[in-house]
């Protein structure tokens, strides 16, 4: 059996916390051959199938955190995506036009027989900030607009708000504006590019002090532990990339309720691995491009998320 991972350059992986690395490690333990390709390696030509310049890698048994020598490169060859047992799209955000084009190539590969996770059509239909609009009963008061006056009116009503770009990741470009409206005008101008870009505005949720919880769904089923990313110091963002502290916790009853509502619906669309972001009782994002936090949850709880994932993937391939 062989799996192709479509990824960022693998020398950039921080293997002590990288989720794709955890997937690869578990695949290797199961005797599955691991191949990697980047977006620029994908192509299609008339009269042929969607192919990728694919590098077969072997994971090394002894790996030092922070080192690049965690794998050995074997042969590199051009292979049709349909000839892999599974293709895992694990390219990190942002969802830019190159990512968009890649999903179209992956959609074509699907029609040729490739098994692609997550479903490329679903990736296009579920931008991570906007996907929550499909579940308005779980979200806090939210506005999506490019109009400055609407944002100011939203602030005047809710007093304490969060502004965020629609294409950000890792907490980039997220700002809080309190009741004094300090710098609101300049923040709007910067985020909406003087009315040229759409932004999301949400009522501030005080429960962020208890953490921005990442709930993982694997083929519709929730992992029983989440990772609460807790802001540190004066920071309002809990994202690990923004310095948040990750603390694994069992899912609360409310977390389970959200997961059981969304899980089957998202799985039915071909979203095999999903990361729900929840603050307090409110859903804030639905991450589908490259959900993370496998290793943090596993290291703190003993719940082997990579094993759960690979077992579910193999079952899906058999079914």
Looking at the chain, list the stretches that DSSP marks H as alpha helix, in order from N- to C-terminal side.
Answer: 19-29, 97-111, 120-125, 148-158, 184-192, 253-268, 294-301, 305-318
| Residue 129 is a catalytic residue | yes
Take residue 271 and report the two structure tokens written for it: 């979203």
* Catalytic residue (one of 91, 214, 255, 296): 214
Take residue 133 and report the two structure tokens written for it: 């609009």
159-201 pLDDT per residue, tens? 999 999 988 776 778 899 999 998 899 999 989 888 889 999 9
**CB-based contact 6:38 (threshold 8 Å):** yes
pLDDT of residue 173: 82
The domain 207-318 belongs to what CATH superfamily? ATP-grasp fold, B domain (3.30.470.20)
d(CA 232, CA 244): 6
Please report where in the chains the tokens 């990442």 appear, as a residue: 214
pLDDT of residue 254: 97
pLDDT of residue 63: 62
* Residues 6+ positions from 194 with CB-CB distance below 8 Å: none
The predicted model scores a pTM of 0.93
pLDDT of residue 244: 80
| Residue 237 is a catalytic residue | yes
Please report where in the chains the tokens 């590019």 appear, as a residue: 193
Give the chain's residues under pLDDT 50.
none
| Residue 150 is a catalytic residue | no
d(CA 239, CA 77): 38
Class of 141-204 in CATH = alpha beta
Report domain extents, the chain: 2-118, 141-204, 207-318
| Residue 277 is a catalytic residue | yes
pLDDT of residue 93: 85
| Residue 214 is a catalytic residue | yes
pLDDT of residue 62: 64
Architecture of domain 2-118: 3-Layer(aba) Sandwich (3.40)
Per DSSP, what are the bridge partners of residue 156? none
Q: Is 54 exposed, middle or buried (CB count within 10 Å of its CB: 0-12, 13-18, 19+)?
A: buried
Percent above pLDDT 90 for the chain: 84
């Amino acid at each position: 059996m062989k799996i192709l991972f479509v990824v960022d350059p693998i020398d950039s992986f921080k293997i002590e916390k990288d989720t794709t690395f955890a997937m690869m490690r578990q695949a290797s333990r199961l005797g599955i051959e691991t191949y990697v390709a980047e977006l620029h390696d994908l192509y299609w030509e008339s009269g042929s199938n969607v192919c990728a310049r694919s590098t077969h890698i072997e994971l090394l048994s002894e790996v030092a955190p922070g080192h690049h020598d965690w794998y050995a490169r074997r042969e590199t060859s051009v292979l049709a995506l349909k000839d892999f047992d599974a293709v895992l799209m694990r390219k990190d955000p942002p969802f830019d036009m190159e990512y968009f084009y890649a999903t179209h190539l992956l959609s074509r590969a699907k029609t040729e027989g490739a098994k692609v996770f997550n479903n490329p059509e679903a990736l296009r239909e579920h931008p991570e900030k906007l996907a929550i609009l499909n579940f308005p009963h779980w979200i806090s008061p939210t506005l999506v607009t490019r109009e400055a006056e609407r944002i100011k009116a939203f602030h005047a009503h809710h007093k304490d708000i969060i502004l965020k770009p629609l294409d950000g990741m890792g907490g980039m470009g997220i700002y809080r504006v309190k009741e004094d409206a300090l710098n609101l005008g300049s923040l709007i101008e910067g985020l909406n590019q003087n009315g040229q870009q759409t932004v999301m505005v949400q009522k501030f949720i005080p429960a962020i002090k208890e953490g921005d919880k990442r709930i993982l769904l694997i083929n519709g089923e929730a992992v029983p532990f989440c990772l609460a990313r807790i802001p540190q110091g004066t920071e309002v963002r809990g994202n690990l990339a923004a310095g948040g502290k990750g603390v694994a916790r069992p899912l609360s009853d409310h977390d389970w309720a959200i997961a059981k509502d969304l899980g089957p619906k998202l799985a039915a669309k071909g979203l095999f691995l999903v990361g729900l972001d929840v603050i307090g009782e409110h859903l804030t994002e639905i991450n589908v491009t490259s959900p993370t936090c496998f290793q943090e949850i596993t290291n703190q709880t003993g719940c082997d998320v990579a094993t759960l994932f690979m077992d579910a993937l193999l079952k899906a391939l058999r079914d």
